[in-house]
Amino acid sequence: MTLEERRAQLKPYFYLEPMQLEDIPEVSQLDHRCFTNPWPLSAYRRELANPEGNFYIVLRQRLPGAQLRQEEAENNTLARVSRWLWSEDEQDPISGYAGMWIRAGEAHVTTIGVAPELRGRGLGELLFVALFEEAIARDAEWLTLEVRVSNDQAKRLYQKYGLTRQGVRRRYYSDNGEDADIMWSESLRDPDYVHKVEALRDQLADRLIGDGVIQPRRDDANPRY
């Protein structure tokens, strides 16, 4: 198989990793594309300065050139193909991001963003599930968030995972004065609820793996993403 044929077989896929300080400029650029009231750079730096109380992740897209570079490192049969490979200094582009605070048993989702051209593929749900998993791992009892009252698509996702509207914050959004619905999960310490969330997570992972959007982890007895 020629290099061109191998490259044609490779499809982009996505993966999650912790947000780092050096990611902030790229995250900020994406934030401006996603929202009309983006955060300043200083806000992200402040959030990352407290990893004990905050949790932030990025969604990266592994492109075919980077996959070939990885394969070359693992198997030297792809040597001398540098015209297809990214330099070692380049990273996979950021396509999404998410974060939350964890305080006094409460996990408060602060942001979830996905590049506009990639929406509708389950990537926002992937980020949301990752926050759920971390909240459970940190023994939070509840997960909560604010969402624009007009954002029906996001509210349907949150309702799918058992969040319900518990109040409203009037004129919460500074760009247009729109109200925010306050939504809360059921108890994350309730085994039945955790089982429901895990079942939804597994369904999502199976679908995204089947579609080639993500790849199963190779180093996990229960591979997900």
Which residue type does 165 have?
R
Phi first, then psi: give them for residue 108, nearest 5 degrees: -110, 110
Q: What value does the CA radius of gyration of the chain take, rounded to a whole number of Å?
A: 19
The verdict on whether 26 is a catalytic residue reads no
Active site residue 146: yes
Quick one: tokens of 113? 């963003």
How far apart are alpha carbons 8 and 84 in whole angstroms? Answer: 12
Among the listed residues 121, 69, 67, the one whose alpha carbon sits nearest the alpha carbon of residue 95:
121
49: left (phi over 0), alpha (psi -120 to 50) or beta: alpha
Among 47, 146, 186, 225, the active-site one is 146
d(CA 164, CA 158): 8
Q: Please pick, among 44, 56, 158, 161, the residue that the annotation labels catalytic.
A: 158
Active site residues: 146, 158
